[in-house]
Amino acid sequence: MKLGLAENTQSPAPAILVFGGGAVAKQIQQSIQGMGLKCLLWSDLDLPKDFIFPTRGDPSAREKIDHILRVFKNLGRDHAYVHPGVTHWAERPELESWARSAEMVLVSSPAKLLNLFQHTLSLIKTAETVGVPTLLLSDDVLTSAREIGVALKDIIEQKKGQFPFVLKSVDRVWNGLGVRNISGFDELKEWVPTWIEQLEEQNHNDMVFIERFVEGARSLIVPFARLKSGYTEFFNIVDASLQTQGKNWVEVCPAQHLEVEIEAKLRDYSKRVLDSVGFIGVGCLVFLYDGRECYLIEGLARLNLGYRLWERVAGTNAVQWQLATLAPALVTAPINGTRPIQRNTEVCGLNLKIYAEDVMLKVPHPGHVVELNHPPLEQGHFEAIWDVDPGQQVVPSSSGSIGQITVFERDWDSVLAKAKEIFSQVWVAGGVQTNERFLQELLSHPWVRESMVYTGFADEEFVPRMTPEP
């Protein structure tokens, strides 16, 4: 009889800690648990009641995250992995060394890749070196309205472009704040100084650069997973053209009426960039398509907020791909894929994001949420997830996200009809103004029904009603 021998002792299943307290964090947790792994959210830990998860600009962020990791690690020797979710920390390179100091493994792309993707200007310049078209007019880094004015005059004099132009933050900024169109020199005094101050306040960086403006272009997202071996799996392309103020309020997958040749070009351009930097992990690249050419404008080295849309359409598991690329020891079952993605013609998905925002004034509208309601969930038709619960506040420092509705049907006409039916029954009550009526009206627009949309459509062509119909 043998007692206490190593071969007779089964090691506990590894446990993973997920950052973030919203609905997407819970989706990630469910995916990890579905793989037979233990998973906790940071909010599940025994922390002080007044403990607040650190924001990027929190001066005590390092101490707070060290405390979170230490509490999790003390739960058991198998508590060895941390997943940053879709929080700001999923893009911060310093988190890798912090996790290593806590003797934990971070499920994230390497720090150098996070740095590259966070620094949009560097990513765009890298793309140019491998022959991928961009809209970059000048790689000069500008920090004031005066410098922007001098650079614009130089571009015009050299006949490189004419108004309008695009001003873009050097570092990627959430909520669309990092991109603004400028149509004349008078705007350099009107709003550019205030905008630069907002960049400094939110992103701790006021540096911007200039891109060419493309009229009537579609915004296309290319999701992917790339293994250490270099194998790259591309998933169905997402159309994010129905955006407002740079925020993707509506996403469609697969992108409608997109030629096979353009899909191939998007994946070729993406692979050039990913191979050139040796990317490892799951992420996406964003392009503008003007009917002739595709231009890289930014990228993400993490899961995007609406990843469930392309995940479901592609019939795959995005979090499993993440673990396979970044923590392969955790993945025991084979993941579907390892072959060129096939065009999925049997499922069409539509993701709609609900925000606390005054649609007419186009400003955030934080406040108290009293009630949230949606029709009963129907298996296979749609998913509803909420980032706030009844009784909670949408605070000014948050993204303003209240939740997401993701609808799936067999084709575009069916998914559009189902989305309008569902949204007519969505109800958000309290001291907040929200955009669900705006989204419902947007889905009824004849141009949307025919998929004749572009990135400026919701801001330039669509005018919502001031008051709802009787």
Q: How far apart are CA 69 and CA 95, in angstroms?
A: 11
**51 or 364: which leads in pLDDT:** 51
**Average pLDDT score over the chain:** 90
| Residue 334 pLDDT exceeds 80 | no
Nearest to 139 by CA among 151, 153, 156: 151
The pLDDT of residue 378 is: 63
Query: How many other CB atoms sit within 10 Å of the CB of residue 63?
Result: 11
Mean pLDDT along residues 176-188: 93
The pLDDT of residue 164 is: 95
Q: Check if the beta carbon of residue 174 is closer than 8 Å to that of residue 201.
A: no
| Residue 340 pLDDT exceeds 50 | no
| Residue 343 pLDDT exceeds 70 | no
Q: How far apart are CA 298 and CA 134, in angstroms?
A: 10
| Residue 354 pLDDT exceeds 50 | yes
- Give the pair of three-digit tokens for residue 195: 């905008």
The pLDDT of residue 150 is: 97
Number of Cα atoms under 13 Å in the Cβ half of residue 68? 27
Mean pLDDT along residues 124-140: 97
> What does DSSP say about strands 38-41 and 136-142: parallel, antiparallel, or unpaired?
unpaired
| Residue 344 pLDDT exceeds 60 | no
CB proximity list for 5: less than 8 A, separation 6 or greater: none
Where residue 19 falls among pLDDT bands split at 50, 70, 90?
Answer: very high
- Give the pair of three-digit tokens for residue 130: 């491998």
**344 or 199: which leads in pLDDT:** 199
Range among 21-25, 285-289, 339-343 with highest mean pLDDT value: 285-289
For 254-356, strand residue ranges (E) read 281-289, 294-300, 348-355
Mean pLDDT along residues 291-314: 96
The pLDDT of residue 470 is: 57
Nearest to 265 by CA among 291, 241, 244, 247: 291
For 305-366, strand residue ranges (E) read 348-355, 357-358, 363-364
The pLDDT of residue 387 is: 87
The pLDDT of residue 4 is: 46
Percent of the chain with pLDDT strictly greater than 90: 71
pTM above 0.85, yes or no: yes
Nearest to 459 by CA among 170, 179, 133: 179
Query: How many other CB atoms sit within 10 Å of the CB of residue 17?
Result: 28
Where residue 56 falls among pLDDT bands split at 50, 70, 90?
Answer: confident
The pLDDT of residue 339 is: 39
**356 or 343: which leads in pLDDT:** 356
Q: What is the largest CA-CA distance in the chain?
A: 89
Mean pLDDT along residues 142-146: 96
Lowest-pLDDT choice from 150-164, 217-231, 377-391, 436-450: 377-391
The pLDDT of residue 98 is: 97
| Residue 260 pLDDT exceeds 60 | yes
Query: How many other CB atoms sit within 10 Å of the CB of residue 193?
Result: 14
Q: At what angle do helices 318-326 and 307-314 cross, to 10 degrees?
A: 100
Where residue 460 falls among pLDDT bands split at 50, 70, 90?
Answer: confident
Q: How far apart are CA 157 and CA 212, in angstroms?
A: 15
The pLDDT of residue 168 is: 96
> What does DSSP say about strands 363-364 and 357-358: parallel, antiparallel, or unpaired?
antiparallel
Range among 358-367, 407-416, 461-470 with highest mean pLDDT value: 407-416
Mean pLDDT along residues 346-365: 88
Q: Tokens 């800690």 belong to which residue?
A: 17
Mean pLDDT along residues 164-188: 92
CB proximity list for 449: less than 8 A, separation 6 or greater: 413, 416
Where residue 379 falls among pLDDT bands split at 50, 70, 90?
Answer: low
The torsion angles phi and psi of 211, rounded to 5 degrees, stand at: -120, 160
Mean pLDDT along residues 365-390: 83
- Give the pair of three-digit tokens for residue 143: 């920090």
The torsion angles phi and psi of 293, rounded to 5 degrees, stand at: -135, 160
Q: Tell me which H or E stretch contains 199.
A: helix 192-203
- Give the pair of three-digit tokens for residue 52: 């607040």
